[in-house]
Structure 1
Amino acid sequence: MTLTTTDDLRLDAPPGADLDAAESAARAFLAALGVRCDSPGTERSPRRMAEAYAAMLAPRPFAMTTFPNDEGYDELVVVRSIPVQSLCEHHLLPFVGVAHVGYLPDGRILGLSKLARVVEMFARRPQVQERLTRQVADWLDAELAPRGVGVVVEAEHLCMALRGVRAVGAVTTTSALSGLVRDSPATRAEFLAAVHP
């Protein structure tokens, strides 16, 4: 869904988003925390906050593009360092990092940009990293029917860096493997070596 902001800028937002209601709620939330929004620098902060969260929760739509595997390509396809930005569902603070996604083709191959789109599709919602990793792998398994899938996500969680333990720079790594990428020791090692050369 695309909404028009008060500045006539286009803004992507999740379906059903009401930016005016979100702005009012943000203003009340900030006031409840003792944050004043009456200076030139902060008077639009509730609107900006609403727009920022709307953008973080809105994946871009895409159509899955696959092609016949006419050449019979049967080696790993790996895309490394796909940017990941999501919101921790427990604190609604961002976690950011990279995803490494690979698959062993069977009858079809995938347009490479679609691997990044799938990551974004599952990341742009309140999420936990473990589920995100599994969702990307399961979606590729279901939609592409490859001989195997591997997904590794590495991310820093601001809920851990900015509050609680305040472990700035700590990186969480999760993985989801299926098919031959999970069951064949050689293929698994090849995927992990491609992810971290």
Structure 2
Amino acid sequence: MQTSEPPRNIINASDLDAWEESVDPQSTGPIDTVKIQTAVRMILEAIGENPDREGLVETPARVARMYQEIFQGLYQNPHDVLATRFHVKQADLVLVKDIPFYSACEHHLLPFFGVAHIAYLPEAGEVTGLSKLARLVDIFAKRPQVQERMTEDIAQALNDELGAQGVVVMVEAEHLCMAMRGVKKPGSRTLTIAARGLYETEEAKRREVIDLMRRSL
């Protein structure tokens, strides 16, 4: 018997208006930029480079500023992002697809990047803004991370903060630690899925949502 398709609101992240930056880049938490610069200089010396040559003299400072930006998620609280909620009369499945992200593998500090798809079934019509889902992805991506934990963290935060009936998060990513080094398999992608609530316990409903995530619009 064919399963009826759930009512839904599907949004592609590329169709959303430009999202506001969630945190001022100049205020990203207690990151010790002096210590980072010292460490980068030592690494350059350790590999046999001259950190005082023209092309490298500003590198330690540049790396420190970069780390302030790409690791700012360490000092952001998902509760603050999801605190803005509102009620709608009829709240069916909400699905936001293709949210781009960049993160850093905690094992080698090399980038991994891709897209996240987030679906949730609101409880009693309580929803959050669509851009807040994109910000939530950024919070957990902008820190030393592994894809499996990042997927679980996003799902758990939505479950805890929204009290949704069900949550599904799917993350697709390419890892440069697999492309540049080690097995050297560029182009390979990793898929991770986390479910909460009724989507964790009811396989048929979970499969319906995953099928929607994989479907091209």
Scaled by the length of structure 1, the TM-score of the pair is: 0.87
1:20 alignment partner in structure 2: 34
Q: Which has the higher contact order (CA 8 A, sep 6+)?
A: 2
Counterpart-to-counterpart distance in 1, 2:36 and 2:120? 40
Structure 1 residues not aligned, in runs of 5+: 1-9
Secondary structure of the residue aligned to 1:51 is helix
Q: CA deviation at 1:12?
A: 4.2
CA deviation string 1:87-128 (max 9, x = no partner): 111111111111100100112111111111111111111111
Matches within 5 A, 1:63-142: 63-64=81-82, 65-69=84-88, 71-73=89-91, 75-107=92-124, 108-142=126-160
Secondary structure of the residue aligned to 2:81 is coil
2:207 equivalent to 1:193: no
Query: 1:13–1:57: 8 Å Cα contact kept in structure 2?
Result: no
Structure 2 residues not aligned, in runs of 5+: 1-23
Secondary structure of the residue aligned to 1:63 is helix
Q: CA deviation at 1:35?
A: 2.4
Counterpart-to-counterpart distance in 2, 1:99 and 1:31? 38
Q: CA deviation at 1:54?
A: 2.1
Counterpart-to-counterpart distance in 2, 1:13 and 1:31? 30
Q: CA deviation at 1:72?
A: 2.7
Q: Which moved more, 1:43-52 or 1:97-106?
A: 43-52
- RMSD (CA atoms): 1.8
1:156 alignment partner in structure 2: 174
2:51 equivalent to 1:37: yes
2:13 alignment partner in structure 1: none
Scaled by the length of structure 2, the TM-score of the pair is: 0.79
Secondary structure of the residue aligned to 2:72 is coil
Matches within 5 A, 1:44-63: 44-59=58-73, 62-63=80-81
Counterpart-to-counterpart distance in 2, 1:31 and 1:50? 17
Counterpart-to-counterpart distance in 1, 2:26 and 2:198? 38
1:172 alignment partner in structure 2: 190
Counterpart-to-counterpart distance in 2, 1:118 and 1:85? 13
Residues 17, 150 of structure 1: alpha-carbon distance in 2 compared, 3 angstrom cutoff = same
Percent identity reads 44
Counterpart-to-counterpart distance in 2, 1:160 and 1:12? 33
Query: 1:102–1:151: 8 Å Cα contact kept in structure 2?
Result: yes
Secondary structure of the residue aligned to 1:55 is helix
CA deviation string 1:135-165 (max 9, x = no partner): 1001100100111000001111111111101
Residues 95, 13 of structure 1: alpha-carbon distance in 2 compared, 3 angstrom cutoff = farther
1:146 to 159, 164, 168: 164
